[in-house]
Structure 1
Amino acid sequence: MKVFKFGGASVQSIERIQLVADILRSYPNEKILIVISAMGKTTNALEKVAEAFFNNHKEEALQLFEAVKQNHLTTAKYLLVTHYNEALERLSHFFTEVEWLLHDKPVRDFDYYYDQIVCAGELLSTGIVSAYLNEVGIDNSWIDVRDIVRTDNNFRDANIDWTFTQQKVNSEILPLFEDSNLVITQGFIGATDDNESTTLGREGSDYTAAVFANMLDADSQTIWKDVEGVMNADPKAFPDAQFISDLNYTEVIEMAYYGAQVIHPKTIKPLQNKGIPLQVKCFLDKTLPGTIIHNKPVKNLPPIIVVKPQQALIHLHSRDFSFVGEKPVADLYELLAEIRIKPNLMQTGAVSIQVCLDDRPEKIEKLALAASAFFEVEVEKGLTLLTIRHYNEAILQKMIAGHTIELRQQSPETVQVLMLPTR
C-alpha cells in the first residue's frame, strides 16, 4: 500500500492532470490511496468568496464563486467525453452546497464560513480527476473525505478524532480496494459530528495523506510537487535555491515549524510514529529521484531559509511598570489559546512582552482588545519574519540588508529576525 498526494500545481491544467495519469500508469499493480488538493489557485479564489460573503457583499461573493464554478466546468468539458455527465452531477452537488450558503447572511465567526466555502476546492478537483482517470482506463474509486475524517469544531485548524477516523478507514476505505487498486479522496478537509465541514490548516493535504498512511500502515508516502524535491529555500523567491537529496524527520519538523511551505507542520508525526518514509518527487519528471525523508542522521545541510511576510508584532507593556512574571504570561497564553492564534516568535522583558503573529486582522484585533484589559497594547504591521537554519553570518547579512531589525533571536542552529524594509 502506498499513499500519494498531488498538490494544486499538479492538477491546475488539463496537461498536468494528464501527467497525473501518466505517473499512475507507472504503478500498475500497486494499491494506492491518492489525496488531491484543489486545482491551482482555487483555494485563494474561494478565500475571496468567503471574505466577500462575510463582509455582506452577497452579489460579489456569488460572482466570485461563479468564476470558480466556470473554471471547473471548462476544465471538465475539455478533459472529459464519456464521463462528463457523471462528473457534472457530482460537481453540481458541490456547487449547490456553496451557493446555498452564499444566499444566507453571516451570523457565525468568519472561520466557520471559511471552512464551509473553501472545502469545495478539493471536492471539485477530485471529482474531475477521478472521472478523467476512469475515462482513460485507470480504474479508481472516489470517496468524500468528510465521511471519513472526523474532527472537532476548531474551524480552519481542526483536530482529528483518531479513533473514529481509524474505524471509518477500516470500514469504508479498505473495502474499496477490493474493487480497484486506486482510491481517490481529498486532502485538507474533514467534518464535525454535526457534518459541518472543517479544514486542517493551510497546506493540510500533506497532513491528510500522512494520517491515511499511518492508518493504512502504508509502505511509503509520496508528495508530488512541481519542484525537483525539497529545496533549501522557496525556488520562486530564490532562483539559486539548492536541492536537498535527503533529510530526517526532525529537520523537516523544524523547517515546517518555522513556516517552510514544503511540508505541512503536522505531517511528520503520523509517519514517524510508524517509521514510514516520506518522498517528495517531481511530477514534471517522474524519473528524478526526489528527496527522501527518514529517521537517520543527516549532516552538512546548507542554510535553510524561510521567509514569512505579513507579520504583526504586538507590543504589550505592563500598566504600572510591575514585572511581567508568570501570571501575565499565563494570561497571555490563555488568550492566545482562546482566540486560536499561534505566536511565531515571543520575547519577554522585565515589563514588556512582544508577540509576533501571522497578520489575521480579525484575530489580531480580538487579541489586542482582550490584552488591553491588563496591558498597554501597540500593534505594528507589515513586518517579515526571516528564519535561517544552519545559518552563517554571510547569508544572514545578505538577507537582512536594506531592512530595519525589530526583533532578533538565535541559537547555535537557528536565527530568527523580524524586520521592516528601511525607509
Structure 2
Amino acid sequence: MKVFKFGGASINSFERIQNLATILEEYKNEKILIVISAMGKMTNALEKVTEAFYSGKKADALRLFEKIKQNHLTLLKYAVTQQWEAATNDLLNFFTEVEWLLHDKPVKEYNYYYDQVVCAGELLSSTIVSYFLNEEKILNKWIDVRDLLRTDNTFREAVIDWPVTRQKIEEKILPLFRETDLVITQGFIGSSNENESTTLGREGSDYTAAVFANILNAESVTIWKDVEGVMNADPKDLPGAVNIPELSYKEVIEMAYYGAQVIHPKTIKPLQNKNIPLHVKSFIERQLPGTVITGKNPHHLPPIIVYKRNQVLMTFESKDFSFVEGKPVNTLYEILEDIKIKPNLTQNAAISLYICMDDVAEKIEKVAMEASGIFDVQLEKNLTLLTIRHYTAEFINKLTENKTIVLQQKTANTIQVLMREI
C-alpha cells in the first residue's frame, strides 16, 4: 500500500484534477491512500474570512465566504455531471458548517475559529476530487479525516493522540481497502475529543500523509509537487540549482533547520521510525525521477544553499564589562522564549553576545526593550544569512563576493555567513 499526497497547486483547476486522474491511472490495481490539500490559495482566502469574522465584520466574512463557495461550485460543474446533485449537497453541508459559525459572535480565542473555518478547504477539495474520479471510473471511497485523526485542542498546532488515531485508522481504513483500491481523505486537519475541528500546523498535510503511512505500514509516501524534486537551492537564488536524487532523513531535517523550504521535520519522524521511503515528485513532469528520502546516507551531495533575508543582528553587551555568561544570558533566552522568537545564529565574545534573528519588527523591539535592563543593546538590520551545507571554497567565494561578512561560523559540513551588501 502506498500513500500519495497532492498539494494545493496540483488540484487548483479542472485541468490539474484531470492530471491527478492521469497519474492514478499509472498505478492501477495498487492500494493507495490519497491525502488532499485545499486548492491553491484557498487556505489564505479562508484565513481572510476568519479575520473578518473575528474583527466583528460579519457581512465582510459572509461576502468573502460566498466567493469561496462559488469558486468550488463552478469547479464542480466542470468536474462532475452524473453525480452533480449528490456532490453539490455534500459541498452545501460543508458550507453550512462554516456559515452557522459566521452568523454567531466570536466568544472564543481566534485560533479556535481559525480551525473551524479553514478546515473547510480540504473537505471541499477532496470531495470534488473524489466525485470526479468516481465519474471517470477511477473508483474510490471518501472519508472525513476528522473521524480518524484524534488530537488535543491546541488549535492551529494540534498534537495527535497516536493510540486513539491508530485504533480509528485500523478500524475504519482497512475495511475500506477491502472494497476499493483508492481511499481519499484530507490533510492538515483533525478533531478533538469534543469533535471540534483542529489543524496540525505548518506542513500539516505532509505530516498527515506520514501519520497514515506509519500506522498503515505503507511501502512508501509520495508528495506530488510543482517542482522537479528537492533542489540544492531555490532557483530564484541560484539559477543553476539542481535536483538532488537521493537524501537521507537526517539531511532533510538539517536543511529544514537552516530554513530550506523542504519537508518539515515532523513529517520525517513517523517515516524514519518505520524506515518508509519518501518520494518528492513533479505532478507536471511525472516522468522525472524526483527525490527519494530514506535512512541511507548518499555520498557526494552538491552544496546545499539556503538564504534567510531580512535578518537583524542584535548585540548584547554587558554593562559592567563582566563576562557574558550565567544568569544574565539565561534571562535573555527566557525573554526570547516568552516573545517566541528563535535565534538563527548565535555567537559569544567575552563581554558580548551576538544573536541573528528574523526581523519581525514588533518582536525585535520588545526583545530590545526587555533586555536593555541587563545589557547594552545594539541592532543592525537589512542583513542576509547564508547557509551552505557541504560547502566548497568555490561556492563560498562565489556567494559572498561583493558582500561584507559580519559574522561567520563553520563546521566540517556547514558554513553560515551573516553578511551585508557593500
TM above 0.5, one fold?
A: yes
Q: Percent identity?
A: 64
Q: How many Å apart are 1:162 and its aligned residue?
A: 1.4
- CA distance 1:375–1:167, change in 2 (3 Å): farther
Distance 2:156 2:171 in 1: 27
> Which residue of structure 2 lines up, in the alignment, with residue 261 of structure 1?
261
> Which residue of structure 1 lines up, in the alignment, with residue 82 of structure 2?
82
Distance 1:370 1:104 in 2: 39
Distance 2:126 2:357 in 1: 33
Q: How many Å apart are 1:389 and its aligned residue?
A: 1.1
Distance 1:313 1:53 in 2: 38
Distance 1:347 1:108 in 2: 42
RMSD of equivalent CA atoms: 3.1
> Which residue of structure 2 lines up, in the alignment, with residue 299 of structure 1?
299
1:48 paired with 2:41, answer no
> Which residue of structure 1 lines up, in the alignment, with residue 31 of structure 2?
31
Distance 2:343 2:407 in 1: 14
> Which residue of structure 2 lines up, in the alignment, with residue 224 of structure 1?
224
1:189 paired with 2:155, answer no
> Which residue of structure 2 lines up, in the alignment, with residue 3 of structure 1?
3
Q: How many Å apart are 1:59 and its aligned residue?
A: 4.1
Q: How many Å apart are 1:309 and its aligned residue?
A: 4.2
1:409 paired with 2:409, answer yes
Distance 2:274 2:318 in 1: 47
> Which residue of structure 1 lines up, in the alignment, with residue 129 of structure 2?
129
Stretch of structure 1 that moved more, 375-384 or 217-226: 375-384
Deviations 1:290-344 (A, max 9, x none): 2222222211111112234455666656676665434444445555555655443
> Which residue of structure 1 lines up, in the alignment, with residue 117 of structure 2?
117
Stretch of structure 1 that moved more, 412-421 or 14-23: 412-421
Stretch of structure 1 that moved more, 373-382 or 80-89: 373-382
Secondary structure of residue in 2 paired with 1:190: strand
8 Å CA contact retained: 2:150, 2:190:
yes
Distance 1:400 1:243 in 2: 23
- CA distance 1:220–1:362, change in 2 (3 Å): farther
Distance 2:383 2:106 in 1: 31
8 Å CA contact retained: 2:252, 2:262:
no
Q: What amino acid sits opposite 2:151 in the alignment?
A: T
- CA distance 1:167–1:365, change in 2 (3 Å): farther
> Which residue of structure 1 lines up, in the alignment, with residue 272 of structure 2?
272
- CA distance 1:362–1:102, change in 2 (3 Å): farther
Distance 1:373 1:154 in 2: 34
Stretch of structure 1 that moved more, 27-36 or 90-99: 90-99
Secondary structure of residue in 2 paired with 1:159: coil
Secondary structure of residue in 1 paired with 2:151: coil
- CA distance 1:31–1:390, change in 2 (3 Å): same
Distance 2:277 2:209 in 1: 13
Deviations 1:354-381 (A, max 9, x none): 5545566777677677767766767776
Distance 2:322 2:111 in 1: 36
1:235 paired with 2:249, answer no
Q: How many Å apart are 1:246 and its aligned residue?
A: 1.2
Q: How many Å apart are 1:249 and its aligned residue?
A: 1.6
Q: Which runs of 5+ in 2 are unaligned?
A: none
Distance 2:287 2:382 in 1: 42
Q: What amino acid sits opposite 1:230 in the alignment?
A: V
Q: How many Å apart are 1:388 and its aligned residue?
A: 1.9
Distance 1:48 1:381 in 2: 30
Q: What amino acid sits opposite 2:216 in the alignment?
A: L
TM-score by length of 1: 0.86
8 Å CA contact retained: 1:86, 1:131:
no
8 Å CA contact retained: 1:203, 1:261:
no
> Which residue of structure 2 lines up, in the alignment, with residue 141 of structure 1?
141
Q: How many residues align?
A: 422
Secondary structure of residue in 1 paired with 2:275: coil
Secondary structure of residue in 2 paired with 1:198: strand
- CA distance 1:237–1:20, change in 2 (3 Å): farther
Q: How many Å apart are 1:39 and its aligned residue?
A: 1.2
Larger radius of gyration: 2
Distance 2:369 2:117 in 1: 28
Distance 2:41 2:420 in 1: 28
Deviations 1:48-80 (A, max 9, x none): 334444445444444333333322222112211
8 Å CA contact retained: 1:313, 1:356:
yes
Distance 1:398 1:85 in 2: 60
Distance 1:369 1:13 in 2: 49
- CA distance 1:275–1:325, change in 2 (3 Å): same
Distance 2:102 2:311 in 1: 30
- CA distance 1:27–1:320, change in 2 (3 Å): same
Stretch of structure 1 that moved more, 80-89 or 247-256: 80-89
Secondary structure of residue in 1 paired with 2:221: strand
Distance 1:356 1:207 in 2: 29
Stretch of structure 1 that moved more, 287-296 or 180-189: 287-296
> Which residue of structure 2 lines up, in the alignment, with residue 170 of structure 1?
170
Stretch of structure 1 that moved more, 119-128 or 395-404: 395-404
> Which residue of structure 2 lines up, in the alignment, with residue 155 of structure 1?
155
Q: How many Å apart are 1:15 and its aligned residue?
A: 0.9
For 1:320-339, what aligned pairs fall within 5 Å after superposition? 323-334=323-334
Q: Which runs of 5+ in 1 are unaligned?
A: none
Secondary structure of residue in 2 paired with 1:292: strand
TM-score by length of 2: 0.86
Q: How many Å apart are 1:151 and its aligned residue?
A: 2.3
- CA distance 1:142–1:356, change in 2 (3 Å): farther
